[in-house]
Amino acid sequence: MTSGNGRGGQDGKEERMPLFMDVHRIEGGVDADDTVKAHAADLRIQGKYGVRYLRYWVSKEAGRVFCLVEAPDANAATTVHREARGLVADEIWRVEEGSFLLPGGRRRRAPIALHPISCPHAGAGARVRLRAGRLGGRE
Q: CA quadruple 59, 55, 94, 26: dihedral positive or negative? A: negative
Q: What is the CATH number of domain 17-116?
A: 3.30.70.3090
In a structure prediction context, what are the per-residue pLDDT tens digits for the chain, which is 139 residues long? 344 445 445 555 567 899 999 999 999 888 888 889 999 999 999 999 999 999 999 998 889 999 999 999 999 999 999 999 888 999 999 998 776 566 676 766 655 444 444 444 444 443 333 333 333 333 3
Does the pTM surpass 0.85? The reply is no
Q: Could you state, in order of their start, the residue ranges of all structural domains in the chain?
A: 17-116
State how far the Cα of 32 lies from the Cα of 13, in Å rounded to an integer. Answer: 40
